[in-house]
Amino acid sequence: MPQIISSVGRNGANQKGDVRSVQDLLNRYSTRLGIAPLRVDGVAGARTVSAIERFQRQVLGMAAPDGRVDPGALTWNKLVATSAPSLSGAAWWHANQARFPNSRDIEDLDATFKPKVKRFLAAMKEAGINYEVNSTRRSKIRAYLMHYSWMIAKGNVAPEAVPIEPGCDIVWDHGNASASKVAAQQMVGLFGLVFKPSLNSRHIPGLAIDMDIAWTGTAKVKDASGSVVSIGSPCDDSNTKLHTVGASYGVVKNLKDPPHWSDTGG
């Protein structure tokens, strides 16, 4: 395994041997980063610093890259750990897909939608209405992986034309179209996709929630204005009176999908 003794990049010690190691590792990502390979000369010039920043932004998902590689720190560890290209396919899926789970945590909802949901849930709880939250925010990266696996497998997009998703270190382009499509198709199968996954779900920005709802008898639930609404049968998410109460909090029922509520009803 390569090693560096001191820091490389912006304001780094930039010892020649260390810079060469970093340049060599970055070059394995040149296609992925959309740059020409660096000259492995041990000089930490502008192109090397820029390549470090691109790696930090595109592979690590850093919002504010510092352009520096420190021994034992995040950027170095990632460069070494993933120095082999992360080619798409079944092996990538098995090794990585679990890193991008969807959430069922209320805290992961959008900051404007979350308080509305919390107030609605509190009102239901106070009224003795049982609910179980099953889905809140959908992983943007997971949606990206599913969408572009499908697109490449079906020949709807060239692998080299797939946009970079920050924080997702996958290489779609295997060097030839056939191998890229086979690898993408493996992921389509493992994800269990039958139709093209959408990138427009209200769950992706955290503006939707899926939950099972049930109660017995007549529930007396407060709407957002504090008025008590008596809600009888049907004692589940199809009850239109409950929809009205939810809407008063800004949590709107989608009438085509039993467990789904969102900011717009979409």
Partner 1 sequence: MSVGQSTTDALPADVVMFKESRDICDHFRGEDPYDAKRAAEIARNLERHCHGTDARLAALRKKYASQPQVMSALEGYEANIE
- For partner 1, the closer CB: 15 or 135: 135
- Examine residue 50 and tell whether it contacts partner 1 (CB under 8 A): no
Exactly one of 194, 225, 226, 233 binds partner 1 (CB under 8 A); that residue is: 194
- For partner 1, the closer CB: 23 or 254: 254
3-state secondary structure of 187: helix
Exactly one of 110, 196, 223, 229 binds partner 1 (CB under 8 A); that residue is: 196
Selected range binding partner 1 among 52-60, 133-141, 180-188, 225-233, rule: CB under 8 A = 133-141
Exactly one of 59, 141, 204, 242 binds partner 1 (CB under 8 A); that residue is: 204
Q: Mask: binding to partner 1, 134-173, rule CB under 8 A, as x and -?
A: xx--x----x----------x-x-----------------
Cα 49 to Cα 44: distance, rounded to the nearest angstrom: 7
Cα dihedral: 103, 107, 109, 114 (round 10): 150
Cα dihedral: 245, 247, 250, 254 (round 10): 120
Cα 128 to Cα 142: distance, rounded to the nearest angstrom: 35
Question: Which CA distances in Å does 119 have to 15, 115, 188, 232, 245?
Answer: 58, 6, 39, 21, 11
Q: Kindly give the pairing relationship between strand 219-222 and strand 8-9.
A: unpaired
Residues at the contact surface with partner 1, assessed by CB under 8 A: 102, 104, 134-135, 138, 143, 154, 156, 192, 194-204, 210, 254, 256-260, 266
